[in-house]
Every structure is written in structure tokens, then in C-alpha cells.
Structure 1
Amino acid sequence: MSEIRFAYAGTPQGQVHYAECGSGAPVVLLHQTPRSWDEYREVLPLLGRARRAIAPDTPGFGASARIAEHTIENYARGLLHLLDALGLDEFDLVGHHTGGVVAVELAARAPDRVRRLVLSSTPYIDAAARERRAARERRAARPPIDAVGERPDGAHLTELWARRAAFYPEGRPDLLTRFVRDALRVWPDVEHGHAAVSAYRMEERIGLIGCPVLCVGASADPYAFPELGPLTERIPHAGTAVIEGGAVPLEFQAGQFADLVAAFLDGAGVSLTQEMEPRE
């Protein structure tokens, strides 16, 4: 497999860190929050066999420069600055969870530059969804999932672990460790990305996407899988694919996910409907 390379690019929002693998036609991979390029650690070499796979740290996350304004629009703006710095006039685009929402905005801003778009475990955010999210927050007895108060004895670290454990497969503490490491890197601003998603007016932007789209759902993702239908219905030219047994962490289904993305980018029709079983 190709080795993963790392670099920084200067942008008007500060330096943006990215990892890349392979060469050829570029595909840009956007992570969920509060993650980093590391979410694509397994996927990069797989896609890098036939193309230049690039996984940036979204501005404000990972090793990229911190930013003052955490909005989906600002994330997309910063990533476009990165792609300008890399000289990428056209590219394929992939986003997972928050990264999918950012990918929607990026494709809406630069429809002439995005060739194909993959939205993985991506919620559809409209006025009704924003109100549901706000109502949940008003009713909640505790703050959002990753917002745990710092304590002198370090108990907040185990609380963060416990809150996230239900979203991760049993027997894979290594995946949860990688999440916690990324979350601590942006502490205490760990919830900013989730708040940006909740405020995004996707219904005003999604119709501007002009390229072929593949919406991918992971059947064991309790948060995002129910969103697969509502999202696909809003994109007339979108196909769907389901990874049976796939969970929240992309690393868990990296092989299946990379196979789907590669097939779609290689020209599989947008009417593609496919189910993939998890690999042993």
C-alpha cells in the first residue's frame, strides 16, 4: 500500500494540516467532529491505490489552525482555501457525519469543481430538524454528549469515554481511544462542530448540488442511519448504498466504505443501490 504523507498549507484562515496517499485524480475526504484526518487512516491507503486521496483536518480541528467562527459555511470556506492552495480545480468529495454536512456546503459553493459527491451517515438539516434538536437540548438533563466538565482528578476523561462507548463496537477500545485523542486536542471546544450542524440551513443549499451523489448509510449507526432516506429524497440525482452492520466509527467499516467509494468514483451509476456485509 502507498504510505501516508503529511503536510501543511497556508490559507487566509491559517495553516491547514492534511494527510494524503497515492497519486492521480484527487478525492477529498472530510471527517466528522471532533475528529481529524485520523478517521480516514485505514481508508487513505485503500483509495490511494488508484487516486490521490487527501484527508484534511477541518479548520479548527486536528492539527489545523484554530478559528473564531465555527459554522458549516466557515469550515467549507477554509477547505476551499486549502484546495486552492493545492491547485485542485476539480476533485471528488467525500464526507462522513459532520464532514458530510460540510461537503454539502462545499459542493453548493463550488458546483463546477466537485465531480462526484459521497455523503456518508449525513443528517438532513432543515427547519424541522433544527427545532427537534433545539427541543432535545431544552429537555436534556445533561449537556451535549461530548461536553463534559473538566475536573482536577481527570474524571472527565472517563466520563467522555463512557458517553461515547455506546456508539462504538464492542471489543474495539482502540477506535474509542482514537476518538478521545482527537476530542482532547480541541478541548474545551469539543461541541462546536455539533452546534454548527444544528444551525446549518441545509434546505437552502442542497438544491445547488449539481454532480452525481451517493448517500451511504451504516445500518448499526443509531444516530445517522434513519437520516439516509430523508437525505436521499432531497437529492433527485442521488443513489444509495447500505453497509450492513456498519457503525458510527468509519474505521470499523473502512474496507467496505472504500470499496463503495471507489466503485462510485469509477463510474457506477447514481441509481446504485447496494448492501454490503461487514468483512471478517
Structure 2
Amino acid sequence: MTHLDTPVSPIVLGAMSFGTLVDEDTSFALLDRFVERGGVWIDTADCYSFWASESGHGGASEAVLGRWFAARPGVRDRIRLSTKVGAEPLWPGSWPEHRAGLSPRAIHDAVSGSLDRLGIDTIDLLWLHQEDRAVPIEETVDGLAVLTGDGIVRRVGASNHPAWRIERARAHARTIGSIPIDAFQLNSTYLRVRPGTRPPGVIHRFGVMSDEQHDYAVENGLETWAYTPLLSGAYDNDAKPVPEEYDHPGSDRRLRVLTEIAADRGLERGQVVLAWQLARGIRPILGGSRLSQLDTAIDAASVILTEDERSRLDAAV
């Protein structure tokens, strides 16, 4: 499906809406194009997308991916699959108060369900979807250690966690000789929300990437992934206004610079955003529903910003 000379793309394909808002035929088309364009990482979760499903539970995204793997013999060898545990509602309508959580038993049961739906025997990267203060992080790490020790999970990461809990988790993993968390997944884009606010849909207290979380990741060699990097299309789609949480003078200045650089380079503003993130060592997750969106994002991965462009983008505050 892909040529040997096709460059590997650092863009992650987000499968959150597959099987719910994105039908199966479209999902398969996106997945096929992703592989053709050199894509490697696909990101999903056991709870996707419970809010859009008839049952009130997740699993639709993983099930679509499982059927795609089954229909494309050999593709699993070229794809790295990441999924998440901990945020599935215990019963319809119970989230966020009552969710699966991150106890060793909950993690084990969630992974078993994910493997069944995906039709695979190994998860390349398992994310802790959101922190669970009801469970000591050391117990969570003990549960992960069983899975990595058995070879069921190759790597572990954390989404929507504060840096201090990741540090505690990594310290415990070193103590017991298990594989430590080596990846962070957080909300990140070029614009910044007003202090005291969060982007739409981000209810997690530590879900928006802070300077501290990014610094911690860089200093400790953690891979960093960004969800909702393009503000759901608001950078380039006039029908999707920039959320009001970003409405402040700093955003005006950043949008002005972004617009200038995009015009000078003949690019969309969203492509400059993706190129800027990649230049900072952040792997963006694309959750689009059209082939054109996917192609535009993958094209952006080949854009190399100059030092002057990066300085102008960084300095606009």
C-alpha cells in the first residue's frame, strides 16, 4: 500500500470518531490513505466515542480498526497502534463521576477488551487516559508492569496528567524494574487560552500542555503528542470560529504572524501550526474526517520553518 521511497510521516491519525461520527467506509478510506502517505501511528481509546454512541459506551473506534486490520493482511506490521484506558464510563451517563479508572484490575480488564476489539495481541503504546486520584499511581504502575512484562504492551504513556505524577510513576517503575512512562499526550495548539480557562471539550485539570509539562518532557526524553492541534479546523475554516477561550490580544498578535507566514509560504495557517509543533518536537494528532484534510496535514510535515519564522511565531505573545 505504500512505496519504499515514501517518507515516514510523524503525523498521528486520531481515530476517535471512527464508527460513530465517521462511518466505516470513510474510516477505511482514511486509514488506507494514511498508510499510503507513510503514516505509522494510529491513536484511539477504549472509550471512543461513548458520547456519540447509541449504547453510551465506547469501543466503536477500536472495533472499526479491528475490522480494518482483518481486511488488510500485513498492514499491522507497518502500523503502530496506541490506545487508552481509564475513561470508559461504568454505565451509560456515568462519566466522569463513575469511570473505569486506573486500578490494576481495571487496566487488565480494559486491555483485554481492547485486544479483542482490535483483533491484535500486542499494543504498541498504552496510554493512561486521565489521572485517577482514587488509586495511588504506584499501584497503577504495578498493573502496567504486568502487561509490559508479559509483552502485551510495548510502551506506556500518560494523557491529561500533571508532571509530578508522571515523575512519581517513572520513579516507581525504575524501582521495580519495569518499563517507565515515556510519552505525554496533552491538548496543544499555537494559540493560548486566557488564564483560568480551558479549551472546549478539555475538562481535565491538567489536560492543556503547560510550559512545565513540556519542559519536563524535553528534559526527561518523553515523546510528546498533541491532541486538537488545529482547533477542529478553526485556523482555516471561516465556518468554525476560534473558540472564545482564545479571545484576547495575544491571540490577535499570534494570528497576525501566523497569517503572514502562511501567506508568504503559500500554506494554510493550520499547516504552519503543524510545522511549528513538529519543530518543537511535538507530534500532532489529526482527527479529521476527509481525505483532503489528511493530505494537507501530511504535506505540512515536510515544511521546514526558518529560524526567523520560528522566532517570529514564538515571540508573538
- Report which of the two has the higher share of strand: 1
TM-score normalised according to structure 2 size: 0.31
Which structure is higher in RCO with an 8 Å CA cutoff and minimum separation 6?
1
